Amino acid sequence: MSTDKNQKNNKDKKNSFLSLLFTKLFGGKEKLSILEEEQMQSPFRTIIKNFMDNKISMSGVIVFLLIFAFVIIGPIFLPQDLSFTESTQRNVGVGLDLMKYPEELKGNVQDIAIGSTYTIGLSKDNKLYIWGKTKMNTVDDIKNIPEGMGNIVKVAAGFDHAIALNEDGKLFGWGSNRQMQAEPVGYVTTLKNISELYAGYQLSIVLTEDGSTYHFGNVMLNDYNEFHKYQGKLKQLAMTNEAVVGLTKDGEVVYLGNQSNSYSRIPENMGNVIDIAASTSTMAALNDKGEVFVWGNISQKGEGNVPVSDGKIIDIEAGRYHYTALTEDGKVLAWGYDNYGQATVPSRLQNTNIKELYTGYYQNYAVAEDGSIHTWGLKGYILGSDDMGRDILNRLVNGGKMSMTVGAVAVIISTIIGVIIGSLSGYFGGKLDIILQRLTEMVASLPFLPFVMILSSLIGNKMEPNQKVWLIMVILGLLSWPGLARLIRAQVLSVREQEYVVAARAVGVKKLGIVFRHILPNIISVILVSATLDFATCMLTEATLSYLGFGVPAPQPTWGNMLYGANSSIVIKNYWWRWVYASILLGICVISINVVGDGLRDAVDPKSQER
């Protein structure tokens, strides 16, 4: 019997603890004794108690605090670069699968070709595998490979198209074909001795066994001369978005265009070159001594900062803004732009003997001696990317911080103005009350949204983006105070004749001291409720202005102008991630703040509470 009684007591204690914990976290009436019910408490403690008893309001507080922590702590781990754009990463879908290669390729890799957001793997048994984000636009999908290709022996991946060669020497192309870059035509289709394939931006080039080059696609964007003097002498090519260089059979690097530019100024005395590669804006050459030379439009991204190697380099590969190299002892080097970790070799590769290295855009694949595949670089985007190639998650975090900042500063400004005008108008009355109330009516009668749009358009166009952000905050604050001023005036009128105010006058307290030191603290709860509700209103107004194009200007993100960037039927239909997450966060945040405000209002008004 005693054992059963102890178990029952323990169960009651456990249930009591869980009930108390749930009550503290999510609100709800806590059972009190009669003496505790009748115990005198301060008004502030009563308000807090009543608010915490409201489950809906406490849930709103928790949700808002989670969003607030998300946008305040998030930028520490996701810093923002307002100047960043990347055309190759536009409208990339949700997911971290850009380097999620199929298991069938382990120990079975013949070749890997890396495109902008997709990768093509060729197995030793001549099968093609495609992974990543393969949809290039609303029409073209790299997964839609041509039928009847047979056994593939060569493959190349470009920006938005791919080309392949089968064992019979027949050439195939698929993907985007706006400039005929994926459709071999004319004499190219008759070639039977193709040795290498090269796919770039709107251009494809094939190299034959006799050292000649043939192209199809657009050469207007790329300085390539199909009648160059090195026909029949080449064994390798390298392409940027603007130029093509070749490596001759006798180890000389040559320029295959007509113009004189940074690419044509090839370094002298490079010796016998055995390999070449090209990033988006630079070229690189590797000689038989293991020395690497880089030239072209070398930027601050670090493509020219070739690291010192303990071993002799035997292979060099290039991505979008970075290079990788393989040494004779199976070690991997990487340098250049490292925004996605593509130029940082994983520590796990230090004790791994790498046999083959494949690099392109922001991805790297290293095949070890045992056939295992190691990847590093851009895995994808958790919430997708926008039309400028920017990470949606990054912009959500930093945009939320800006949206809340705009709302908070606007509320602070409007609250200060409303408190001062309402307090003075209510306490002093007379002519001052008449003047201040007419001013309040004038501001309140302005058509709010159109007036803000006009001011933002007229004044904002003459300002820097950061200055316009502050302008939006000030405009919202200066036009949002009339409601609060009237509310405070009414509250002051109701308490200015009470005993403690009369006593303060009797002892000689100054009038402004009575207003701001005695009356105002007694109506602070009303101010808090109004400010909370105005915070949500200001956030929603900023989002509306930004959505209409009159708010915070790009590239500075807010939830509102993220929706403005998705204001298109094409975006809404095909790139849902660009508007869904911003609208959900904005909606939940505003609803949570309004719920908290309603809870505070109910807690302040004792008539709304039932015993």
* Residue 37 is assigned to a structural domain of this protein: no
CATH of the domain at 476: 1.10.3720.10
Closest among 149, 153, 119 to 134, alpha carbons compared: 119
CA atoms of 160 and 142, how far apart (whole Å): 8
Any idea what the CATH number is for the domain that residue 281 is in? 2.130.10.30
Whether 25 shows a pLDDT value over 60: the answer reads: no
Beta carbons of 253 and 268 less than 8 angstroms apart:
no
> Within this chain, do residues 397 and 481 fall inside the same structural domain, yes or no?
yes
Q: Which of 167, 193, 221 is the last residue of a domain?
A: 221
Question: Do residues 444 and 491 both lie within one domain?
Answer: yes
Looking at per-residue pLDDT, the higher value among 452 and 1 belongs to: 452
Residue that finishes a domain, picked among 221, 249, 279: 221
Q: What is the CA radius of gyration of the chain?
A: 34
Phi-psi region of 360 (alpha: psi -120 to 50; beta: other; left: phi over 0): beta
Q: Which of 378, 401, 432 is the last residue of a domain?
A: 378
What is residue 18's predicted lDDT score, i.e. its pLDDT?
47
Peptide bond just before 75 cis, omega within 30 deg: no
Question: What distance in Å separates the CA atoms of residue 41 and residue 45, rounded to the nearest whole number?
Answer: 6
In a domain, 321, yes or no: yes
- Does 483 reside within a domain? yes
Residues 503, 542 share a domain: yes
Provide the percentage of residues in the chain whose pLDDT is more than 70: 91
Are 499 and 528 members of one domain? Answer: yes
Q: Are 279 and 336 in contact (CB under 8 A)?
A: yes
**Looking at the predicted structure, is the pLDDT value of residue 249 above 90?**
yes
The span from the CA of 554 to the CA of 562, in Å, is 9
Q: How many C-beta neighbours within 10 Å does residue 214 have?
A: 19
Nearest to 216 by CA among 183, 242, 239, 238: 183
For residue 549, tell me if it sits in a domain. Answer: yes
Q: Phi and psi dihedrals of 113, rounded to 5? A: -115, 130
Asked whether residue 410 falls in the same domain as residue 353, the answer is no
Return the HEC string of 155-212.
EEECCCEEEEEECCCCEEEEECCCCCCCCCCHHHHHCCCEEEEEECCCEEEEEECCCC
pLDDT tens per residue across span 541-585: 888 888 877 788 888 899 988 988 888 888 988 899 999 999 999
pLDDT tens column, 99-110: 999 999 999 999
Both 98 and 72 in a single domain? no
Residue-wise pLDDT tens digits, 307-358 = 998 899 999 999 999 999 999 999 999 999 999 999 999 999 988 999 999 9
Structural domain total, the chain:
3
| Residue predicted with more confidence, 32 or 438 | 438
Residue 311 within any structural domain of the chain: yes
**Residue predicted with more confidence, 305 or 33:** 305
pTM of the shown model: 0.84
Mean pLDDT score of the chain, rounded to an integer? 87
Do residues 371 and 397 share a domain? no
In terms of domains, do 163 and 259 share one?
A: no
Higher pLDDT, 212 or 21: 212
Does a structural domain hold residue 554?
yes
User: Cα–chain-centroid distance for residue 540?
Assistant: 21
Question: How many residues belong to the chain?
Answer: 611
Closest listed residue to residue 54, CA positions, set 24, 27, 20: 27
Rounded Cα gap, residues 441 and 435, in angstroms: 10
> Which of the pair, 228 or 186, is modelled with greater confidence?
228
Measured in degrees and rounded to the nearest 5, phi and psi for residue 531 equal: -65, -35
d(CA 397, CA 402): 9
User: Does 46 reside within a domain?
Assistant: no
Residue 539 sits in the same domain as residue 588: yes
398 and 542 belong to one structural domain: yes
Dump the DSSP string for 76-109. HHS---TT---GGGTT--SBS-TT---GGGTT-E
Structural domain includes residue 226: no
Residue 9 carries which side chain, given as an amino acid letter? N
Parent domain of 337: 238-378
Q: Do 303 and 353 share a domain, yes or no?
A: yes
Q: Which amino acid is at 59?
A: S
Q: 128 and 70: one domain? A: no
**Would you say 336 and 360 are in contact if contact means Cβ atoms under 8 Å apart?**
no
Over residues 29-83, the pLDDT tens digits come to 555 554 444 444 556 677 777 778 888 889 999 999 999 999 999 999 999 999 8
Mean pLDDT of 440-459: 81
pLDDT tens digits, one per residue of 117-146? 999 999 999 999 999 999 998 889 999 999
